[in-house]
Chains A and B, each alone.
Chain A
Amino acid sequence: MKPAGWLERIWPSLPILAALLLTSLLLIAFGTSPAVAFGAILEGVFSTPERMLTALAFWIPLALASVGLLVTFQAGLWNIGIEGQFILGALGASWVALSFQLPAPLQITLEILAGMVGGALWAGVVALFKRWGVHEIFGGLALNNLAIILTNFLIAGPWQPPEGGSFRGTVPFREDALLPLLGSTRFSPLSLLLAALAFGLVVLALRNSAWGLRLKALGHNPRSAFLLGVSSNREALLAMLFCGALAGLGGAVRVLSWFDSLRQSISGGIGYLALMVVILAAFRLYLTPLVALFFASVLSGSIVLQLRTQLHSSLGDILTGVMVLFVLLFGDFGRVRSLFKRKDQEDV
């Protein structure tokens, strides 16, 4: 039984390698050299500073949503409604952008606050439903759809461009309403600062605050936590509001820097992507932003992949998706070992 020692140590990297292997086999099956394909992805991320900043700009909203999810996961909540909270953040920011004509600093502050309130509001509804006995997964999914419908309604109705509703998006926001960008990229240094602040806040809350400890107890054993004096309803609501606010901030950043107007698919699934990020990071605090960066790199690098090869850029999605799947299946060394052990016993 000696090999278990080193096997356990290198185990976490195995699902990643297995995912790369499987994706390579897929590439070969489609008649493309894996080296060329992965090279194209790397080129898409690292070849020029602009491309690196683009990956970074994609990373910031994703990282905001991911670290927000750390809070709800700590409380044992499956906040699948994060997609809707992200969209509501974008809607909140767009509402301020379209309705007010203020000086830039005030306008942007107000937009960001409105985004956070929007996300928190949507999360609060999920928490309220949970109190009434609706599981957060179902409440969250319903609200995700509702958020998309609301976006389409606003684009086609009240917020449609003067030339008529096109179902594509609103008119571009004023220059003063957008986050200041670096050069000709979509990267906004201000949003990086906000993301760093948010991450620091989450670290403080989860590691050092009494609130974070209560969430941890709630996540591990709600019954015992309740008997030890933790008010589950209150803490669950606060965790949802916190996560919703961060997701809303992500949505606001997305609409104010990546785009310049409210679009039909404003999120593009970043909320769901954030769930995958946190799962791949095994819910670890410091790993989460790094995994988010990896996701952002692969996905934004895939665009070059499409240019270089005849493959669709969704190869990046396939790669990350397979990785998460493999981590879920085989990532927990103890679980895998017990699976094999049980089989041994059955054979005997």
Chain B
Amino acid sequence: MRLRGAPDHRGGSLPEVVECKRRFGTKADDDDALGWDPAMGMQQKGAAGLGLKLLFRQHCRQRATQAQGASLLELKGAVIRTPRLDLAPTDLQIGAGEVFGLAGLEGSGQELLLKACAGLLPVVEGRRFLAGSDITRLGYHATCRRGVRYLAAGRLEEGLVSGLTLTEHLALVTEEPAFFVDWPANRRQTAERIKRYQVVGTPESTVEQLSGGNQQRFLFGLLPASLRLILLEHPTRGLDLRSTDWIWQQLNERRQDGTAILFISADLDEIIERSDRIAVFSAGHMSRVVDALHTSVDELGHLIGGQQ
């Protein structure tokens, strides 16, 4: 088993990848054009599509290793304590542009790690670094100011404010707001975001009137244009296929700019398919980091059960 998958190929001219692109009708020099819908198509073709699926993952994996520069987020011997569960000292390194999946039964410590990365929980021992600078002591808002965002699973509980309209949400997240809110300008901007993020709603809709998929789209629409790290709790839980694809398309577009993605999911297929690397949590311990390309649901299952 490879730990941090040493990339054995670089550059976009690998024959399989070119073939993969050709089949799905994308230009060979355009990495972005290969969206996620073809992948879903492949998935449905069953056994015949399996080889292609692997190729596709390889293709994405490769893009990540290209983008992956210096370590962006780093935890060194981080210990997190909560009344219910303690996270044993954990080392973790995530590169720019990398997608990192956290698996495990709910409440095994992956939520604690994600919250600690956001500054929502204190790292009581050890250190937390972002792009080389020590941010161990920074709280959530200070961490956010350094280009980090945290999207929780409960969209109406921990994300959007029921009773507030879409326009009010956008005005709320405006960075360096003026003392008085320019409502007409905010309404225009909201209408524009609604269009760009394909939200079914109006600027005057309150968020609880939106469907789950549209709430998640709107939450993405509220994110600043440039970010270093996005932390997500079950980003596609309860969403239909189309919204799920759309979410990952958004995240993959962002990783092109070097944004790292760290996410929790209960869906092992999703974790294997979307991640570059994976860590599994079991009773407050993080497993070795596995390469998504060379792992299987079976192996992750064993790790979830606590076997090494």
Contact B172 A213 (CB under 8 A): yes
Q: How far is the CA of A108 from the CA of B190 in the complex (A)?
A: 48
Q: Closest residue of chain B to A218, judged by CB? A: B161
Contact A208 B180 (CB under 8 A): yes
Report chain B residues within 8 Å CB of A216.
164, 168
Q: How far is the CA of A229 from the CA of B150 in the complex (A)?
A: 11
Report chain B residues within 8 Å CB of A217.
161, 164, 168, 172
* Residue of A204, A209, A223, A228 touching B172 (CB-CB under 8 A): A228
Contact B174 A224 (CB under 8 A): no
Report if B144 contacts A (CB, 8 A).
yes
Min CB gap B281→A, angstroms: 22
A193-233 contacts to B (CB < 8 Å): 204, 208-211, 213-214, 216-217, 220-221, 223-231
Contact A229 B161 (CB under 8 A): no
Contact A224 B180 (CB under 8 A): no
Contact A227 B152 (CB under 8 A): yes
The 8 A CB mask of B147-170 against A (1 = contact, 0 = none) is: 000101000111111111000110
Report if B171 contacts A (CB, 8 A).
yes
Q: A227-B152, A229-B141 are in contact. Are A214 and B172 (CB under 8 A)?
A: yes
Report chain A residues within 8 Å CB of B172.
213-214, 217, 225, 228-230
* Residue of B140, B159, B179, B183 touching A224 (CB-CB under 8 A): B159
Q: How many A-B residue pairs have CB under 8 A?
A: 64
Contact A220 B174 (CB under 8 A): no
Report if B178 contacts A (CB, 8 A).
yes
Contact B159 A210 (CB under 8 A): no
Report chain A residues within 8 Å CB of B178.
210
Report if B70 contacts A (CB, 8 A).
no
Q: How far is the CA of A217 from the CA of B169 in the complex (A)?
A: 9
Q: How far is the CA of A211 from the CA of B159 in the complex (A)?
A: 19
Report if B185 contacts A (CB, 8 A).
no
Report if B33 contacts A (CB, 8 A).
no
Report if B7 contacts A (CB, 8 A).
no
* Residue of B162, B171, B179 touching A220 (CB-CB under 8 A): B162
Report chain B residues within 8 Å CB of A225.
161, 172
Report chain A residues within 8 Å CB of B169.
228
Q: How far is the CA of A255 from the CA of B91 in the complex (A)?
A: 65
Q: A223-B157, A229-B144 are in contact. Are A210 and B168 (CB under 8 A)?
A: no
Report if B181 contacts A (CB, 8 A).
yes
Classify chain B's interface size: 20 to 34
Min CB gap A206→B, angstroms: 11
Q: How far is the CA of A225 from the CA of B183 in the complex (A)?
A: 19
Q: A216-B164, A223-B158 are in contact. Are A229 and B173 (CB under 8 A)?
A: yes
Contact A224 B181 (CB under 8 A): no
Contact A231 B141 (CB under 8 A): yes
Min CB gap B139→A, angstroms: 10
Report chain A residues within 8 Å CB of B141.
229, 231
Report chain B residues within 8 Å CB of A223.
157-158
Report chain B residues within 8 Å CB of A208.
180-181, 183
Q: How far is the CA of A221 from the CA of B178 in the complex (A)?
A: 23
Contact B181 A228 (CB under 8 A): no
Min CB gap B126→A, angstroms: 24
Q: Closest residue of chain A to B180, judged by CB? A: A208
Min CB gap B219→A, angstroms: 10
Report if B177 contacts A (CB, 8 A).
yes
Contact A224 B158 (CB under 8 A): yes
* Residue of B150, B162, B164, B179 touching A227 (CB-CB under 8 A): B150
Q: Closest residue of chain B to A221, judged by CB? A: B161
Min CB gap A9→B, angstroms: 22
Q: How far is the CA of A229 from the CA of B152 in the complex (A)?
A: 14
Report chain A residues within 8 Å CB of B183.
208
Min CB gap A174→B, angstroms: 40
Min CB gap B194→A, angstroms: 18
Min CB gap B217→A, angstroms: 16
Q: A217-B164, A226-B140, A229-B144 are in contact. Are A210 and B171 (CB under 8 A)?
A: yes
The 8 A CB mask of B178-204 against A (1 = contact, 0 = none) is: 111101000000000000000000000
Min CB gap A171→B, angstroms: 44
Q: How far is the CA of A291 from the CA of B169 in the complex (A)?
A: 31
Contact A227 B158 (CB under 8 A): yes
Q: How far is the CA of A220 from the CA of B159 in the complex (A)?
A: 12
Contact A224 B161 (CB under 8 A): yes
Q: How far is the CA of A224 from the CA of B157 in the complex (A)?
A: 6
Contact A210 B177 (CB under 8 A): yes
Report chain A residues within 8 Å CB of B160.
221, 224
Report chain A residues within 8 Å CB of B171.
210, 213
Q: A216-B168, A227-B152 are in contact. Are A210 and B161 (CB under 8 A)?
A: no
Min CB gap B149→A, angstroms: 9
Q: A228-B169, A229-B144 are in contact. Are A220 and B161 (CB under 8 A)?
A: yes
Min CB gap B284→A, angstroms: 24
Q: How far is the CA of A130 from the CA of B176 in the complex (A)?
A: 27
Contact A210 B180 (CB under 8 A): yes
Q: A221-B162, A227-B150, A227-B152 are in contact. Are A213 and B168 (CB under 8 A)?
A: yes
Q: Closest residue of chain B to A214, judged by CB? A: B172
Q: How far is the CA of A38 from the CA of B168 in the complex (A)?
A: 45
9 contacts between A and B (CB under 8 A): A214-B172, A220-B164, A221-B162, A224-B157, A224-B159, A225-B161, A228-B222, A229-B141, A229-B144
- Which 8 A-B pairs give the minimum distances between C-beta atoms? A210-B177, A221-B161, A220-B163, A224-B161, A217-B161, A220-B161, A208-B180, A223-B158
A-side interface residues toward B, CB under 8 Å?
204, 208-211, 213-214, 216-217, 220-221, 223-231
B-side interface residues toward A, CB under 8 Å?
140-141, 144, 150, 152, 156-164, 168-169, 171-174, 177-181, 183, 222
10 new A-B contacts at CB < 8 Å, known A211-B179, A213-B171, A221-B160? A208-B180, A209-B180, A216-B168, A220-B162, A221-B163, A224-B157, A224-B161, A227-B158, A227-B159, A230-B172
